[in-house]
Amino acid sequence: MITHHPDDESLLAFASGQLDSGRGLLLSVHLDACQQCHRRVQALLSVGGEVLERAQPMELSDEALQRVLQRIEGTAPESKARVGVTSAPAARGLSRLDSCEVSAWRRVAPGMRYRSVLVPHAADGKMFVLGIAPGRSLPKHSHRDLEWTQVISGAFDDGRARFEAGDFDATDGLVRHQPVVTAEAECICLAHLSAPLVFEGWIARTFGRWIGM
Amino acid sequence: MSLAPRARRISLVVPAGGYAVAVTTPEELATYIRQVAAGSDRAAFTQLFQHFAPRIKGFLQKSGATRELAEELAQETLVTLWRKAAQFDPNRASAATWVYTIARNLWVDEHRRTQRSPVDARGETWLEDLPMAEAPRVPEQEVLGEQRQRAVRTALAALSPAQAEVLQRAYFAEQSQSQIASDLRLSLGTVKSRARLALEHLKDLLDGTYL
Ligand SMILES: [Zn+2]
């Protein structure tokens, strides 16, 4: 069961199109897995629809309609085939990353591997898929800015709470944590950082350098 | 589907400083979109153009787009509406919300295209895609899009004008909260807390059913 969700402001930023592409993509992965947030985003999109309805209309150029009619001339609307037959969004996992450049898995330390993800048009920040073996922990670290994490599979506990598949987590500069993966399985997370992590200790710093943080 | 009002009585509204636009009901808009999907109906499409294109242009100009860009994206939104009309599902979203989502995605794309990036987008796939076009169908939880829209409309009307204002502005992409603050002659802190309160209030009004 999903117990950790993005906050209202993040959902509003998503619905109004104001997230950078990395965070927007990460949030989409959460929405694929989470009915509750999905429903809430639909409500916030409905607010957007209402804002559009109330927007002050601005006249288009004289030939605008003609130009649009010309562009659709001779083309029929696409058939419906694609709609509704896609796999259940929850089962999609990381297929959202299809439009990104994703590296092969790279081992960084025993029990720790990652794939870097280059998101088209990402303004700032780094995105990667992280795999941590059962029972392993990520080096203790704090954040200069913001880290968003979406758990794809497995689970971890960082001393604040337990995060399972489908859960979303946001940590800011105030959080200093050490996620520990539970014993059952490898934990796969999609993570987005908008500023470098600050690792403590030599091994941790090496790890940070490896994955380019 | 034959309920479409063929010869409609057209009423006009002339907003202050704006120009006259036809008033079309949400039901009519939904019907037009279905007519486009089912029969490539250009007359229905023209009605949709007349309703939405000027609003999209106005909306985007508020969001910081130049007149030229707003005009271009308004046209692009309507072309996309034509192409994707079969994806419109009134059970998931009202016509206005669906069109808003298309315009939003085009605007986001446009915005990102102008940013430097090490990777080019592949094809025209939207990264975030239309979230509701591919939503899982869960009949027992399903809410009619138009029903939700009415609830949202009623809730928005119940907000204080000040709260409605900051919430509305949150949708105009380019307006940072500090911009809103200086426009409204308020402190940044006031704008932030007002936006938060507006959202809280909206949640209460929607009674946890939708938000
Ligand atoms: Zn959620």
pLDDT exceeds cutoff 70 at B11: no
- pLDDT in the model for residue B163: 86
- pLDDT in the model for residue A203: 55
Contact state of B18 with A57 under an 8 Å Cβ cutoff: yes
Tokens for B139, please give them. 């009949």
- pLDDT in the model for residue A208: 65
Mind telling me how many Å the CA of A136 is from chain B's nearest CA?
A: 32
- The pLDDT tens digits of the residues spanning B183-196 come to 888 888 888 788 88
What is the number of other CB atoms lying within 10 angstroms of the CB of residue A53? Answer: 21
**Mean pLDDT value across residues A176-188:** 85
Write the single-letter amino acid at A85. Answer: V
- pLDDT in the model for residue A108: 81
Domain of residue A188, residue span: 1-213
Helices A21-33 and A8-15, packing angle to 10 deg: 110
Question: What are the residue ranges spanned by the domains of chain B?
Answer: 10-137, 143-211
Distance A69 CA to ligand 1 centre (A): 41
Residue A120 touches partner B, C-beta closer than 8 Å: yes
Q: How far apart are CA A192 and CA B80, in angstroms?
A: 31
Tokens for B73, please give them. 């994206």
Under CATH, to which class is B10-137 assigned? mainly alpha
**Mean pLDDT value across residues A20-28:** 88
| DSSP character at residue B130 | -
pLDDT band at A38 (very low <50, low <70, confident <90, very high): confident
The CATH number assigned to the domain holding A100 equals: 2.60.120.10
- pLDDT in the model for residue A175: 66
Q: How far apart are CA A132 and CA A156, in angstroms?
A: 9
Burial class (CB in 10 A: 0-12, 13-18, 19+), A54: middle
- The pLDDT tens digits of the residues spanning B142-179 come to 457 788 888 899 999 999 888 888 888 888 865 667 77
Tokens for B68, please give them. 């030229």
pLDDT exceeds cutoff 90 at A140: no
Judging contacts by C-beta atoms under 8 Å, the chain B residues touching residue A27 are 128
- pLDDT in the model for residue B42: 95
- pLDDT in the model for residue B196: 84
Residue B105 touches partner A, C-beta closer than 8 Å: yes
Residue B122 touches partner A, C-beta closer than 8 Å: yes
Q: How far apart are CA B74 and CA B141, in angstroms?
A: 33
Return the H-helix or E-strand segment holding A30. helix A21-33
Q: How far, CA to CA in Å, does A157 sit from each of A132, A211, B159?
A: 12, 22, 40
Instruction: Name the pTM for this structure.
Output: 0.82
Is residue B186 helix, strand or coil?
coil
Say what the alpha-carbon torsion angle A105, A175, A5, B165 is, to the nearest 10 degrees: -120
User: Bridge partners of A197?
Assistant: A143
Instruction: Name the closest residue on chain A to residue B49, using Cα atoms.
Output: A65
Q: Which residues of B73-99 are buried (b: 16+ CB within 10 A; e: fewer)?
A: bbbbbbbbbbbbbbbbbbebbbbbbbb
Best of B27, B52, B60, B97 to disrupt the A interface (most A CBs within 10 Å) is B97
DSSP A51-77: HHHHS---PPPTTHHHHHHHHHTT-PP
Average pLDDT, chain A: 82
Residue B37 touches partner A, C-beta closer than 8 Å: yes
**Mean pLDDT value across residues B126-146:** 46
- The pLDDT tens digits of the residues spanning A95-136 come to 888 888 899 999 888 888 989 898 887 767 788 898 999 988
Return the H-helix or E-strand segment holding A121. none
Average pLDDT, chain B: 77
Tokens for B99, please give them. 């069109």
- pLDDT in the model for residue A197: 59
Strands (E) across chain A are located at 101-102, 106-109, 112-118, 126-132, 141-143, 147-153, 155-157, 162-164, 168-171, 176-177, 180-181, 187-193, 197-199
- The pLDDT tens digits of the residues spanning B31-68 come to 999 999 999 999 999 999 999 999 999 999 988 889 99
**Mean pLDDT value across residues B99-127:** 65
What is the number of other CB atoms lying within 10 angstroms of the CB of residue A88? Answer: 9
How many structural domains comprise chain A?
A: 1
- pLDDT in the model for residue B5: 43
**Mean pLDDT value across residues A12-19:** 87
H-helix segments, chain B: 26-39, 42-62, 67-84, 95-113, 145-158, 161-170, 177-184, 188-205
Best of A47, A96, A100, A102 to disrupt the B interface (most B CBs within 10 Å) is A47
Residue B22 touches partner A, C-beta closer than 8 Å: no
Look at B16 and B141; give whichever has higher pLDDT.
B16
Dihedral sign for Cα A97, A98, A103, A107, please.
positive
- pLDDT in the model for residue B133: 36
- The pLDDT tens digits of the residues spanning A150-168 come to 999 999 998 888 999 999 9
Q: How far apart are CA B101 and CA B98, in angstroms?
A: 5
Of the CATH numbers 1.10.10.10, 3.10.450.50, 3.90.550.10, 2.40.40.20, which one belongs to the domain with range B143-211? 1.10.10.10
φ, ψ of residue A101 in degrees (nearest 5)? -95, 115
Residue A25 touches partner B, C-beta closer than 8 Å: yes
